[in-house]
Amino acid sequence: MGPFVPEVISDQLNLVVALILGIGFGFALEQAGFSSSRRLAGVFYGYDFTVLRVFFTAAVTAMSGVLLLGYFGLLDTDAIFVNPTWLRPAVAGGAIMGVGFVLGGYCPGTSVCAAAIGKIDAMFFVGGGLFGVLAFGEMYPLYHGFYESTPLGSIKIFDSLGMSQGMFAFLLIVIAVGAFAGTTVIEKRVNKKSAPSLGFSTRNHLIAGAGVVALGIVFIFLPDRKTHIIDRVSNPAYLSTHPVKLMTADELAFRIVDHEPRMRIIDIRTPAACAKLALPGSSNIQVRDLFGKDWITMLSQRHVKKVLVADSEPEEHAACLLLEKLGYENIAALHGGLDAFNATIMNPSAVIPAGTRWDTDVFRFRETARKDILAMIEKNKNGGSKEIKKVKKIQGGC
């Protein structure tokens, strides 16, 4: 499952990969005609819409590929770099670049391409770019505050617009194909003699456009893989027909105070809830993260029992079924959830079901277990949690 950095491809090898992908990037840009400033500027005057065609086709192709690879589980879309949004600086920076595009006739990537095939104006553009970054760096304190303003994190456009991922993908495709058709009409009117679109075969382009829109319609119905699987295993009807092993609160308490080495507790509650109070030695993992690579080593130890805990049993049950679906074994859910655990073990006034001759023993066991567990939690607090998840996020951006 992609991406392969950093697990499969080391940081060093990644630089070689960068060079090879860069060759493809440069070749594609030059073949598209992006090494000509007059061609690039044409998009703003209607005589040549090559930029729009290449740019939107590339964006739609890559986006469709990411969605499809994600759906088939070949690419972990939660692990890829999503450019974080700083809203106001993004708008201001984009506006400055827009002026630069019209005046200079290039953008940084295309200017390097054009310079590589000998365009002198592109070399001036690259030189200007170097000067621009230097000027920005030297005057940085003046606008440092603005530069860091309105940080919104790695948000996604479909969330910002309040629609589903698939619906957004469909709309983007429709807008792109509509823009292709509309700008071709404009281009032929503005540039009667040498419009690039004069040479296009109308029939072939219509077929291709229809094909892309059909793919867009598929996207509307294409769910996000992780959400889809989680929804399926959380369905009450599915839960009732797929039982999992249960561990009683007493057994879990016994194993905790016994320091059982062949058991790991996985707490799927929110980090905030776990920060308040969590069982000693437990690992806090969000359900969506169970798909990822970070926990494979721990989860695939077959001789270690993985006990899932959450506030209620159905949440644990669904997470257990998800783990089974992902191919992991030796999984159990805490019977009755943490609610039951808190009510029986952690509550000193818990009622012991009367009537059996073990009542006093049960009471004494729970009394001791509670004290031990509280002591263990206290000790972990002072000594710091031993389970610190190392997060090695992929870095990207310019």
Partner 1 sequence: MKTKYMNPYLAGFFLGVVLLATIFITGRGLGASGAIKSVVVATVDGVAPSHAENSQFYSTYVGPGKDNPLKSWLVFEMAGVVIGAFISGLVSDRLKIVTEAGPRVGTRLRWMFAALGGALFGIGAQFARGCTSGAALSGMAVLSTAGFVTMMAIFGTGYAVAYVARKLWL
For partner 1, the closer of residues 107 and 218 by Cβ is: 107
Smallest Cα–Cα separation from 41: which of 105, 99, 132? 105
For partner 1, the closer of residues 45 and 358 by Cβ is: 45
Nearest-approach distance from CB 345 to partner 1, in angstroms: 43
Nearest-approach distance from CB 73 to partner 1, in angstroms: 13
For partner 1, the closer of residues 228 and 293 by Cβ is: 293
For partner 1, the closer of residues 23 and 375 by Cβ is: 23
For partner 1, the closer of residues 169 and 256 by Cβ is: 169
Give the 3-state secondary structure of residue 330. Answer: coil
Nearest-approach distance from CB 106 to partner 1, in angstroms: 7
Nearest-approach distance from CB 187 to partner 1, in angstroms: 11
Nearest-approach distance from CB 316 to partner 1, in angstroms: 31
For partner 1, the closer of residues 17 and 374 by Cβ is: 17
Peptide bond into 84 cis (omega under 30): no
For partner 1, the closer of residues 29 and 247 by Cβ is: 29
Nearest-approach distance from CB 200 to partner 1, in angstroms: 8
The C-alpha torsion from 37 through 40 and 44 to 45, rounded to 10°, is: 70
**Rounded CA separation 86/248 (Å):** 48
79 Cβ contact list (under 8 Å, min separation 6): 3, 292, 293, 394
Nearest-approach distance from CB 202 to partner 1, in angstroms: 13
Nearest-approach distance from CB 366 to partner 1, in angstroms: 48
> Which pairing describes strands 151-153 and 85-86: parallel, antiparallel, or unpaired?
antiparallel
The C-alpha torsion from 198 through 103 and 32 to 50, rounded to 10°, is: -30
For partner 1, the closer of residues 13 and 277 by Cβ is: 13
For partner 1, the closer of residues 140 and 358 by Cβ is: 140
Give the 3-state secondary structure of residue 306. Answer: strand
Tell me how crowded residue 46 is: count the other CB atoms within 10 A of its CB.
14
Nearest-approach distance from CB 164 to partner 1, in angstroms: 11
Is residue 155 within 8 Å of residue 85, measured between CB atoms? yes
Q: Dig out the tokens for 26 from the structure.
A: 């440069």
Q: Dig out the tokens for 128 from the structure.
A: 């200007």
Smallest Cα–Cα separation from 311: which of 348, 360, 277, 260? 277
Peptide bond into 6 cis (omega under 30): yes
**Rounded CA separation 243/301 (Å):** 22
**Rounded CA separation 193/84 (Å):** 44
Query: How long a stretch of residues is the chain?
Result: 398
Is residue 140 within 8 Å of residue 147, measured between CB atoms? yes
